[in-house]
Structure 1
Amino acid sequence: MKPEKPELLAPAGSMEAFIAAVENGADAVYLGARAFSARGYASNFSEKELEEAIDYAHLRGVKVYVTVNTLLKEEEVENALKLLSWLREIGTDAIIIQDLGLISLSRQYLPDLPLHASTQMTLHNSEGAEFAKKMGIERVVLSRECSLEEIKMIKEKTGTEIEVFIHGALCISYSGQCLLSSLIGGRSGNRGFCAQPCRKKYRLYCEGKQIKTTGSYLLSPKDLNTTSGLGALIEAGIESFKIEGRMKRPEYVAGVVRIYRRLIDRYIANPAEYYVSEEEQEILTQLFNRGFTQGYFFEKPRQELMSRENPHNRGVPMGTVTGYDRRLNRIRVKLSRHLRLGDGIMVENAETRPEDKGKIISSMYAGKGPVYSAGVGDTVEIPFDSRAPSGSTVYRTHDKMLMDSLKKESESGSLRPKIPVSITAAVASGKTIRLEVKDRDSNAVTIESEYLVENAKKQPTSKARIEKQLSKLGNTIFEAAELHVTVEEDIFIPVGQLNELRTKAIEQLENLRISRWKRKPLDTLQSYESGEKGSVDRVPVDRAQVENESTTRESVEKVGQEAEKTVQECLPIHPMLSVSVYSLEGLEGALAGGADRIYFGEGLFRRPVTTGQEKGSEKGKGSGAVFEKAVSETQKAGKNIYFITPKLVKDPRMESIEKIFSRVRELGANGVLVSNLGTLGLAKAEKIPFIADSPLNIFNSRTFAFILQEGAQMAVISPELTLEELKSIASRGPAECIVYGRLELMESEHCLTGGLLGNNKGQCSAPCRSGKFTLVDEKNYEFPLLMDYECRMHLLNSRSLCMLEYVPEILENGVSSLRVETLGMDNPDEIQKVTRAYRKAIDTYLETGKQGPENCEKLGKGFTTGHYFRGVQ
């Protein structure tokens, strides 16, 4: 049985790229509006261009998905919903979306608008995909780190449509979980403005000693290329194959789409004889590459994932440096490929910055004079400002002839196959001509001429002549595949009448193909615009829950559901102090310092082996005895304890979550901390009390309300919000914010230390056990690295967040709980010291209404206030 043909989904960051995608064979194109798109630096599309693009695509049978896949600030939610409403009306086939609040609003007010879950939602397990499906999501764009077996498992369990990336740039972090660009420079990847700091230079240190590495771009992955494994992806039944590249030029889009169109069709036609030609692979390499990888589809790539020596386009090797003429500032190159004026080159080991991505050749010399082009085996001299050692490889990063050809062909409008139509006409003397034109998508138009057919006085109009005129579809997108013409003998029709009738019918068919996707405005949105938009009620706090949370404190007054209730009436009388710890020693320090609530994560992270520690016992994964003691110690102190669940949990590891849930029940813990929609949905289904953590990206009150309505006791607000932005959320329910600790900048499936320090066979010897590792950037900031027991890498911020002096402002904004994060802190005395400082700051404010004597200087040096005052773009 033939496999189903997957959709080929192409990127477009401009109208030129959009046309290139359609003309070269895309089944669908994804693009962004000028606002709320996760590629904020792309040109993107104005409203007029969006409608033109959608009409252009629908006329040709191509779908358009619009990305509205950024996290939304409070004041942006209304405009985003209005944008979705307009996109719905102009016929958008689906919205690629991230913000949970906007999803819930669109399901309420725009129920017939198809939604696709962006990869920014970090959906990577069956439970998460099922949760999204219940929200009304039709398709899930899975995390790039999912293997083919994991994808099959998700598809089999949920039956939801799956979309995966098959070509283009890769992120080192799980999408939706990267704060590196945000905290380094204020440009949030979650908001579409990633500055790509992962493509910068870093140095690796262990216990203060630099480790020599091959290449300096330690966080820069290669580009994805699945051509050789495409058949396996097709056989898996994945619905949509997505090409990355909304920042790429139109010629790139044209070339990549054309080749993948050809390869998909080739496999469907004859799977047994599928192949990828050298020419096809070379074109993909020439268009753009940082080296290629198949990513995580078929195996863990380890060091093969990374492009550490060059984070930019490598192009293809085209020659070798044989010398340098100092007098004329020219390099001498022996060519292994053709080279022409207008081509771009990059020279390996040249005394220039790699950021200078290449040089466009404006002049070239061979023998005694200038030449336009040179061939294989020729030696040429090229003006070059920097010296390059003899033997250095020269790469062609821009092939002018290839790019010119792709541009010309894409703009010609002749690449895409014509749409077959059937034409039926009835011609009889004394009657009007009745003409029907029908395509294969069930679109049909029928028109009649005003002209009455005459009897022939001299030369009658033949059936062949009528068929010829009606089938002349010229520059239209149609071709006459079938003709059904009935003609009486001895009739006469002027050619002009036939042409006019045919033209009108084709115009109507074109309009029908476009207009059938348009939608009428919905009355439901009027209720939102007339007043409901500001009516997100405060989510009521369950009295029993709060009493359980505040065992040693005063119970709360009765909480009403009315939006008019004051923050003081709705919140617990005493704000809580939560502390995340990752060992029993840390737990003891937090309790001694005055924590109200413990988040316990023993066994999540690997630790360096210390003297006397048995290597066989280091894993532990938080044995039952450890958890039992943690619960006992916490309850003895009259406090509450929640077990931390991993941020990322693939299907094969979901049983570990069930074990954590079992421990909650058996040991009487208060609940769990969840960080992805899969574990959230599972906790809800199994009636395990849970708190929603910051990786769920709670950015506005709509998302906050949605999470609480799903059953969360409390939600931890995104650390990318300012104090002022936090206020609009915290006043609506039990909210927690992180006020101390090294924020996690990314979690990566790639273990950097294992990839760099593993053996020649790519096997990992667990070097993370040998000491503490840090990454150091070009400005000498140090970023601690942690590895977990799934061999994932966690990168922490170079500075600890400290908001000790601003506790009053945070509490006055309605925050229910402050959180100290001790990730990367091993000293229990330090944990106790920090916890005590925040305990005293909270208590002083509650007693006096003023700031206490505590400040960050007493806790150390080099702190940051994160985004609480500067915010993100």
Structure 2
Amino acid sequence: MKPEKPELLAPAGGMEAFIAAVENGADAVYLGARAFSARGYASNFSEKELEEAIDYAHLRGVKVYVTVNTLLKEDEIENALKLLSWLRNIGTDAIIIQDLGLISLARKYLPDLPLHASTQMTLHNSEGVELAKTMGIERVVLSRECSLEEIIRIKEKTGTEIEVFIHGALCISYSGQCLLSSLIGGRSGNRGFCAQPCRKKYRLYCEGKQVKTTGSYLLSPKDLNTTSGLGALIEAGIESFKIEGRMKRPEYVAGVVRIYRRLIDRYIENPAEYYVSEEEQEILTQLFNRGFTKGYFFENPRWKLMSRENPHNRGVPAGTVTGYDRHSNRIRLKLSRPLRLGDGIMVENAETRPEDKGKIISSMYVGKGSVYSAGVGDTVEIPFDSRAPSGSTVYRTHDKKLMDSLKKESESGSLRAKIPVSIMATVISGRPIGLEIRDRDANSVTIESEYLVEKAEKQPTSKASIEKQLSKLGNTIFEAAELYITMEEDIFVPVGQLNELRTKAVEQLENLRISRWKREPLDVLQVCKSEEKGSVKKGLEEKESVEKESEKKESVENAGQEAEKTIQEHLPMHSLLSVSVYSLEGLKGALAGGADRIYFGEGLFRRPEITGQEEGSAKGSEAVFEKAIAETQKAGKEIYLITPKLVKDSRMESIEKIFSHVRKLGADGVLVSNLGTLGLVKAGKIPFIADSPLNIFNSRTFAFLLQEGAQMAVISPELTLEELKCVTPHGPAECIVYGRLELMESEHCLTGGLLGNNNGQCNAPCRSGKFTLVDEKNYEFPLLMDYECRLHLLNSRSLCMLEYLPEILESGVSSLRVETLGMDNPDEIRKVTRAYRKAIDTYLETGKKGSENCEKLGKGFTTGHYFRGVQ
């Protein structure tokens, strides 16, 4: 039995790329509006272009998904909902979406608009996908780090449609969890403006000494290419195969879509004979590559994932440098591939920056004469401003002939197969001609002519003549697959009447194919606007009241579930001070400094002094948690256990173990960072606080998480102080006021990839000392590794808001948080905690700012985004 054919989903950053995608065989295209798209630097589509694109696609049987997949600020929510409403009306097939608040609004006010969860939602486990389903998500774009085995398991457990990337650029961080571009330059990847700092140069240091590395682009991955493993992905039953590339040229879209269309069809037709030709692979390589990888589908690629020597398109090798003429400033090349004027080249080891991306050939010489093109084996000279050592490889980064061909063919309108239609005509004397045209998508048009069929006076019209005229569908998108003519003999029909009737029927069928996807407008925005500010808190109190009445009628099986606290009970009389710690020593320092609440994450991270993973596991044993909980409770403070940000299905038992510590040892609850853990914690009725990796950017997202049962939510560190004030009136909120913010979490172990064995075995170099990455401006970014061998990159500077504590407190937050990630010294933790404790107490008691400031805590601090915000 043939496997199901997956949808081929193509990118489009503009109308030319969109047409190229459709004409070269895409089943669906994803694109962005001018606002709220995670590719803010693409040209994207105006409203007029969006409607034209959707109509163009629907006419040809192609779906269109619009990306509204950025995090939304408070003042953007209304416009985003308006955009969704309009997109619904014009027939958008689905919205690719990230913001939890917008999802909740869309489900409430636009219930018939299909929603697909963006990869920016970091969905990577079955529980998270299940929760997304309850939110109204129909399809999930899983994290690129999921293996094929994990994808199959998620599909089996959830029954949800799955979409995966099969080709194009990769992020080194889990999507939706990267703040690197944001904190370095104010361009938020969560809002579509990533400046790609991962493609910059970095140096690796260990304990202050530089470590020699192969290449300098230490965070730059290769591009994804799954052609060789495509069959396994098809057999897994994945519904949609997605090509990355909304920032790419139309020719790139045309070429990549065409090849994957061909490969998918080839496998479906005959799996046993599936192959990828050298020509197909070369075209993909020529169009764009940083080197290729199959990603995480079939194995953890470790060091083979990375393109450390060149973060840009390397094209294909085209020749070798044999010399340089300094008088004419020409480089001499021996060609291994043809070159022609208009091609682009990049010369390895040339005395120029890789960022310059090479040169377009405007003139080329063989001997003393100029030439338009040269072939394999020829030696040519090309004007070139920079020298390069003899023997250096020359890459052809742009193939003008290929690109011109792809452009011309895509614009011709002749590539996409015609849509077969059945034509039925009734031609009877004295009656109008009856014509029905029906496509294979159940669209049918029936019309009659104003003309009445006449009896033939001389030459009757033949059946063959009628068939010929009605099947002349010419430049339309249709072809006549079947013709059924019912007619009398000896009748006469003018050719012009047949042509006019056929043209009208075709126009009506085209309109029907487009209009059937349009939806009647819904008047929802006024209803949304009328919701009262603060209704979140009111709704939660009503929900708590209903739950209490229900609990009175039920027998209580678990004493720990008898007295659920209301949201009002969790509102503190004063602002709490929370401290995240990752060791017993750190916990003691935080308590000594005056913390009200402890977030305890023992065992999450490796430390240099630990000599074996078993020792780390022992540290995270129940005895350690028991001691931590006892110490905190003895001090009369709260303790919440930190759950990992990323938890694959195979590691969910680690979450259950944390839950068991809460139940058995009496911790106050857990800190939750992903939707999968949130689903589990709800099912287990464990008290929880929603942490900042859930990207709480606006009051709607805040409301959703509180309604899901969160006692408190930690607001995104990308919000300004003014933006924070828009969220805090709606419930108990916490903000981070000190510490090194985590900039990314990556499945790739950087130190193991650089310093481990090339056979894929890791000798745990992360235990040998403290590692940092240093950028071109000499900023140092500490690295941490967790016990799943994932990389955590911390900011080069610690956030410190001591001087601005009054402004923070006046914003209405219920809790301030000190983050000690990367801090090993308990005395330092105590000192920082005490400074914040004193500053809070001074202001609450006197209404005045205290004497505490960041200079007393050290050097090199930042105020993060509290005053500068993000794009």
TM range (shorter): over 0.9
AA in 1 matched with 2:288: F
Alpha carbons 1:78, 1:533 under 8 Å: kept: no
CA offsets 1:72-107 (integer angstroms, 9 cap, x no match): 000000000000000000000000000000000011
- 1:702 equivalent in structure 2: 700
- 1:565 equivalent in structure 2: none
- 2:537 equivalent in structure 1: 538
Q: Secondary structure at the match of 1:355?
A: helix
- 2:559 equivalent in structure 1: none
Distance (whole Å) between structure 2 residues aligned to residue 117 and residue 843 of structure 1: 43
- 1:576 equivalent in structure 2: 576
- 1:450 equivalent in structure 2: 450
What displacement does 1:760 show? 2.6
- 2:835 equivalent in structure 1: 837
Distance (whole Å) between structure 1 residues aligned to residue 526 and residue 698 of structure 2: 22
Distance (whole Å) between structure 2 residues aligned to residue 533 and residue 713 of structure 1: 21
Distance (whole Å) between structure 2 residues aligned to residue 246 and residue 615 of structure 1: 42
What displacement does 1:179 show? 0.1
What displacement does 1:431 show? 1.0
Distance (whole Å) between structure 1 residues aligned to residue 96 and residue 613 of structure 2: 47
What displacement does 1:429 show? 1.1
What displacement does 1:182 show? 0.1
Q: Secondary structure at the match of 1:731?
A: helix
Greater Cα shift, 758-767 or 789-798: 758-767
Distance (whole Å) between structure 2 residues aligned to residue 369 and residue 216 of structure 1: 40
Q: Does 1:627 align with 2:625?
A: yes
- 1:32 equivalent in structure 2: 32
Distance (whole Å) between structure 2 residues aligned to residue 57 and residue 812 of structure 1: 52
Distance (whole Å) between structure 2 residues aligned to residue 570 and residue 825 of structure 1: 29
- 1:416 equivalent in structure 2: 416
Q: Does 1:310 align with 2:314?
A: no
Q: CA distance change for structure 1 residues 560 and 676 in 2, over 3 Å: closer, same or farther?
A: closer
Distance (whole Å) between structure 1 residues aligned to residue 617 and residue 328 of structure 2: 63
AA in 1 matched with 2:8: L
Alpha carbons 1:536, 1:701 under 8 Å: kept: no
- 2:556 equivalent in structure 1: none
Alpha carbons 2:782, 2:796 under 8 Å: kept: yes
Distance (whole Å) between structure 1 residues aligned to residue 101 and residue 87 of structure 2: 18
Q: Does 1:497 align with 2:497?
A: yes
What displacement does 1:523 show? 3.4
Distance (whole Å) between structure 2 residues aligned to residue 526 and residue 848 of structure 1: 44
Distance (whole Å) between structure 2 residues aligned to residue 595 and residue 279 of structure 1: 64
Alpha carbons 1:74, 1:728 under 8 Å: kept: yes
Distance (whole Å) between structure 2 residues aligned to residue 140 and residue 222 of structure 1: 24
Distance (whole Å) between structure 2 residues aligned to residue 497 and residue 194 of structure 1: 59
Map 1:91-106; keep pairs closer than 5 Å.
Answer: 91-106=91-106
Alpha carbons 1:110, 1:525 under 8 Å: kept: no
Alpha carbons 1:606, 1:619 under 8 Å: kept: no
AA in 1 matched with 2:812: G
Return the match for 2:782 from 757, 763, 784: 784
Q: Secondary structure at the match of 2:333?
A: strand
Q: CA distance change for structure 1 residues 759 and 94 in 2, over 3 Å: closer, same or farther?
A: same
Q: Secondary structure at the match of 1:408?
A: helix
AA in 2 matched with 1:78: E
Map 1:580-595; keep pairs closer than 5 Å.
Answer: 580-595=580-595
- 1:851 equivalent in structure 2: 849
Q: Secondary structure at the match of 1:706?
A: helix
Q: Does 1:397 align with 2:397?
A: yes
What displacement does 1:609 show? 2.2
Distance (whole Å) between structure 1 residues aligned to residue 730 and residue 702 of structure 2: 8
Return the match for 2:750 from 737, 749, 752: 752
Alpha carbons 2:148, 2:298 under 8 Å: kept: yes
- 1:639 equivalent in structure 2: 637
Distance (whole Å) between structure 1 residues aligned to residue 442 and residue 787 of structure 2: 55
AA in 1 matched with 2:504: K
Q: Secondary structure at the match of 1:283?
A: helix
What displacement does 1:143 show? 0.2
- 1:685 equivalent in structure 2: 683
- 1:551 equivalent in structure 2: none
Map 1:173-572; keep pairs closer than 5 Å.
Answer: 173-529=173-529, 531-532=530-531, 534=533, 536-538=535-537, 571-572=571-572
Q: Does 1:19 align with 2:19?
A: yes
- 1:553 equivalent in structure 2: none
AA in 2 matched with 1:720: E
What displacement does 1:805 show? 1.1
Distance (whole Å) between structure 2 residues aligned to residue 491 and residue 219 of structure 1: 77
What displacement does 1:533 show? 7.1
Q: Secondary structure at the match of 2:323?
A: strand
Q: Does 1:65 align with 2:65?
A: yes
Distance (whole Å) between structure 1 residues aligned to residue 711 and residue 354 of structure 2: 50
Distance (whole Å) between structure 2 residues aligned to residue 615 and residue 17 of structure 1: 50
Distance (whole Å) between structure 1 residues aligned to residue 853 and residue 178 of structure 2: 29
AA in 1 matched with 2:31: L
Return the TM-score normalized by structure 2: 0.96
Q: CA distance change for structure 1 residues 419 and 455 in 2, over 3 Å: closer, same or farther?
A: same
Alpha carbons 1:674, 1:690 under 8 Å: kept: yes
Alpha carbons 1:785, 1:793 under 8 Å: kept: yes
Aligned length: 850
Distance (whole Å) between structure 2 residues aligned to residue 534 and residue 587 of structure 1: 38
What displacement does 1:850 show? 1.0
Q: CA distance change for structure 1 residues 74 and 772 in 2, over 3 Å: closer, same or farther?
A: same
Alpha carbons 2:534, 2:730 under 8 Å: kept: no
Alpha carbons 2:567, 2:711 under 8 Å: kept: no
AA in 2 matched with 1:634: T
- 1:566 equivalent in structure 2: none
Distance (whole Å) between structure 2 residues aligned to residue 789 and residue 344 of structure 1: 45
Return the match for 2:727 from 729, 733, 745: 729
Alpha carbons 2:570, 2:711 under 8 Å: kept: no
- 1:866 equivalent in structure 2: 864
AA in 2 matched with 1:588: K
Q: CA distance change for structure 1 residues 560 and 717 in 2, over 3 Å: closer, same or farther?
A: closer
Distance (whole Å) between structure 1 residues aligned to residue 729 and residue 643 of structure 2: 27
What displacement does 1:619 show? 4.0
- 1:166 equivalent in structure 2: 166
AA in 2 matched with 1:833: K
AA in 1 matched with 2:791: M
- 1:130 equivalent in structure 2: 130
What displacement does 1:570 show? 9.2
Q: CA distance change for structure 1 residues 324 and 505 in 2, over 3 Å: closer, same or farther?
A: same
Q: Secondary structure at the match of 1:346?
A: strand
- 1:555 equivalent in structure 2: none
What displacement does 1:571 show? 3.8
Q: CA distance change for structure 1 residues 4 and 150 in 2, over 3 Å: closer, same or farther?
A: same
What displacement does 1:730 show? 1.1
CA offsets 1:39-68 (integer angstroms, 9 cap, x no match): 000000000000000000000000000000
Q: Secondary structure at the match of 2:592?
A: helix
Return the match for 2:820 from 822, 825, 830: 822
AA in 2 matched with 1:578: S
What displacement does 1:109 show? 0.4
CA offsets 1:441-472 (integer angstroms, 9 cap, x no match): 00000000000111111111100000000000
CA offsets 1:543-581 (integer angstroms, 9 cap, x no match): 9x9xxxxxxxxxxxx9999xxxxxxx9942111100000
CA offsets 1:209-257 (integer angstroms, 9 cap, x no match): 0001010000000000000000000000000000000000000000000
Distance (whole Å) between structure 1 residues aligned to residue 232 and residue 606 of structure 2: 35
Alpha carbons 1:11, 1:29 under 8 Å: kept: yes
Distance (whole Å) between structure 1 residues aligned to residue 820 and residue 566 of structure 2: 33
Distance (whole Å) between structure 2 residues aligned to residue 821 and residue 505 of structure 1: 68
What displacement does 1:731 show? 1.5
Return the TM-score normalized by structure 1: 0.96
Return the match for 1:666 from 664, 685, 689: 664
Q: Secondary structure at the match of 2:227?
A: coil
Alpha carbons 2:578, 2:815 under 8 Å: kept: yes
Q: Secondary structure at the match of 1:228?
A: helix
- 1:564 equivalent in structure 2: none
Q: Does 1:715 align with 2:733?
A: no
Q: Secondary structure at the match of 1:538?
A: helix
Q: CA distance change for structure 1 residues 700 and 97 in 2, over 3 Å: closer, same or farther?
A: same
What displacement does 1:534 show? 4.9
What displacement does 1:528 show? 2.1
- 1:806 equivalent in structure 2: 804
